[in-house]
Amino acid sequence: FYQSRYNLPQLELIRDYYRYSCWQQAIADSITGWQSQHGQQDLLIFSFHGLPQLLDHRGDPYRRQCEASVDAISKRLGIKSGEYLLCYQSRFGKAAWLQPYLEPELQRLASEGVRRVQVVCPCFAVDGIETLEEIAIRARRTFIEAGGESLEYIPALNDSDRHVAVLTEILGSGVA
């Protein structure tokens, strides 16, 4: 359809963003940078935007891509299973979405004695309502009301020089 339109520019899609080592390292560095300023917590939570399970059952690769992202970033951080958790956020409607859901996990963790967590959302290039309000405000409130002491949100790469360098490298490899 797109190519049949008159006078439109040629587009190239850059797929599988999560596979780029420059992105993986930038996320890992943003986590270690945050932790060097604010300290480490009991648990690091990787929270990704959710997706209806039906799409996953139909073969959508998103869940596997999220898992691969966490594997790559956790290796770069030198952390092992049990020192981090993968969750999904932003679900709506009555259908089942990818699990575990972030907020029930935060309640469970607090009830099990986890007191301080940090949450990073690697799938967000920039912060917006789903990170600043949903994580930094609502998820923090959920965790604290369940008995946790502190939930820190580690910001997205946003407009940092590092993010510009990552995008430049990715675009350069995809457009060349």
Q: What is the pLDDT of residues 122-160, one digit of tens each?
A: 999 999 999 999 999 999 999 999 999 999 999 999 999
All residue ranges of the chain with pLDDT < 70 are 1-5, 174-176
Give the model's pLDDT for residue 44.
99
DSSP string computed for 59-87: T-SHHHHHHHHHHHHHHHHT--TTSEEEE
Q: Which among 124, 132, 111 has a CA at the least distance from the CA of 66?
A: 124
Q: At what angle do helices 21-38 and 62-77 cross, to 10 degrees?
A: 50
- The tokens for 35 are 């932790």
- Delineate the domains of the chain, giving CATH numbers in brackets: 15-175 (3.40.50.1400)
Give the model's pLDDT for residue 113.
98
Give the model's pLDDT for residue 147.
98
Give the model's pLDDT for residue 14.
83
Give the model's pLDDT for residue 13.
82
Give the model's pLDDT for residue 15.
83
Give the model's pLDDT for residue 110.
99
- The tokens for 163 are 């993010």
Q: Report the share of the chain in percent with pLDDT over 70.
A: 95
Distance CA 74, CA 8 (A): 41
The one-letter amino acid at 120: V
Prior bond to 61 cis, omega within 30? no
Give the model's pLDDT for residue 1.
54
Distance CA 156, CA 124 (A): 6
